[in-house]
Structure 1
Amino acid sequence: MLEFKNVTKRFGSGVKPAVNNLNLTINKGDFVVFIGPSGCGKTTTMKMINRLIDTTEGSIIVDGKDVTQQDPVQLRRSIGYVIQQIGLIPHMTVGENIVLVGSLLKWSKEKKEKRAKELIKLVNLPEDYLNRYPHELSGGQQQRIGVLRALAADPPLILMDEPFGALDPITRDSLQEEFKKLQKEMDKTIIFVTHDMDEAIKLADKIVLMNGGEIVQASTPEEMLRNPINEFVEDFIGKDRLLQSRPEVTTVEQIMNPNPVTINMESTLKEAIQKMREMRVDSLLVIDQEQKLQGFIDIEMVDSNYRKYTYVHEVMDTEEYAVQKDSLLRDTMHKMLRRGKSYVSVVDESYHLAGIVTRATLADMVYDTIWGDGMEAAIATPE
């Protein structure tokens, strides 16, 4: 899909190369994240792919074709590109912004309208948003439109330069999850540049860590966290990271309780109260007949609605936050703390409820990681 062969970039003679003799192969459908300190060459490397910057030496091959042998304008129209500043055109509607490349490619009006309607559904925004203007959208919504614009011409390759860097943490979390799911569904090859190691660990199939214009280590997130190749990688990752302390525990599936307390959405509020009393809990996860997560209900919802409503689905909160079974544990823990959650539901790819991770579970794991049996022995036999 994408190959760098002995690629070097110099900005002026006698100057140390910004990128030095880079060799890397990226397969179709991979999500590859370039990361490293400022000035390491990661953004220069990405911009050489669509010839915003030209190589000094070597070649970059995309789908069997050398990019330097292609017209740069046509090349850029065939590769999606998303940047932090988004760059939506203010006097164009959201729909017009999405299909901007289609306009350059001389698509018919009908084709552009159809494509815009198809894409807006992918990010769960209403179709009438296509008639709005960028200033009428939130920052997160604008960034979604920037991503859709990159997808409009259905390019096999998409470049993303710190696209979520300017967003608040919760919006950023949401967009990361949304985009990773979208990438899997559409089987796109993504080259993503970031300075945020947590973002790289969460999104990447492969992390390419650069320094001084060269690749220091290129591997899966799990491999890099477990086996950093040298001290630079260790320091850049951060020695306090959970996966280094407890390498055998990496995903929420490994520590979740697979039997959370649930109630069917068609059950009555009286049945919900009885179940809370029996299980000695103050909230229940709500599922449908297919065991798919629908929301949650707690004692306060029941208490304030008991006289007005009969069934769980009439009063439940449908904004239940959930993570996939293969979500990284460290990332999930950070989200729980940021959102002030005491637990997080765990689902599979079809949104069937698979389990639950609570703060108590995390506390037990951190206790074992830091102190283990040694602390228990110390408590049992004090000096």
Structure 2
Amino acid sequence: MKKAVLALLAVALTPAVFAQFPQRPPTPNDTLKSIQQLTDGRVKFSLYAPKASEVTVSGDFPNGFPPAKLQKDGAGVWSFTTASAVAPNVYTYDFNVDGLKVFDPKNAQYKESNNGFSNVFEIKGPENEFQTLKDVPHGKIEKVYYKSSALEGITRRLHVYLPPNYDEISRSQKLPVLYLLHGGGDNDASWTTVGRANLILDNLYAQGKLKPMIVVMPAGHTPVQGFFMGAGDRQDPFCRDMVQDVIPFIEKTYPVSSKREHRAIAGLSMGGIQTINLALWHPDLFAQVFPMSTGYFPNTIAEIKEKYGEVMRNKTINTFKDFRIYMGGEADIAYKNNLNMMAMFDEYGIKYNYQNGGGAHTFLAWRSHLLDLAPRLFR
């Protein structure tokens, strides 16, 4: 019997059997590290593309815009190193090979958006502690589908963050809700991929800085035509979807409070305009409002003054517990529009708080804004 088993093993290990699995010659890509932090703090990007004519890399890291050109070595590896050290944070980047955006196959960290996928890398350090994965109790992210009556009955997706110990907490109380909106080109997964909302909230819970809440991240783009940066809620199909479907769906599906004081809304860029439109046209729905890196365009401000003065003069607006506008500094592309919008608010006597910082029009700013606004909620 022993000889028979050995004979079978010998047959199983013959070259003919191995031939079933095609072998290929090794390449530099087998051991390549596409992202390396050098000893001096600079970051080196590398991509194996031996037949390419031109490779660039772009992103929100230093020297990432305009796109930087990589140099090719004799082995077919293209490389680029930042000119200076990269500060601790989370950054996005995209390789472009001969005019085609290419996902980095050597890096599984990614951002999901309406425009596809981008890669993400993290530089560790004290400044980054608030948004990094730690050994703390973690909340849960759910992908949820619902039917939108406001959008011709289509099925839509949203993400929901449930706090640590949600099952236990939700048995004894109805939870408040933060509606957290993404920007143009992104989708309902962006806040939990590159936005790291779940990790930021996990770490704040671990520090005892948050009231238990759920966070709903809907999809701000819709297949129904509309003006997402216009004045009011009727021009934007998403706003109709939020009021008619998203909020009722959440309040039916999860053990949450339906009281105004237990609803907050925040959003960035396009989502910031949607935040303002929902809050000002429906001030009875939300108690706390946090637009980020946003502002009405001049023609929209003119339209508001011509058609919606009564909306701006609604006294309920000034009963918001917190109407706080965030900006990513003068480098933020929405900076001037935001100044013009705040000047209009001043004309109508609308009260707000204003916080200007850094990070420009990127998640470098918006993650910091979430860190600041989340502990303010539902106090």
TM-score (norm 2): 0.25
Larger proportion of helix = 1
Higher relative contact order (CA 8 A, sep 6+): 1
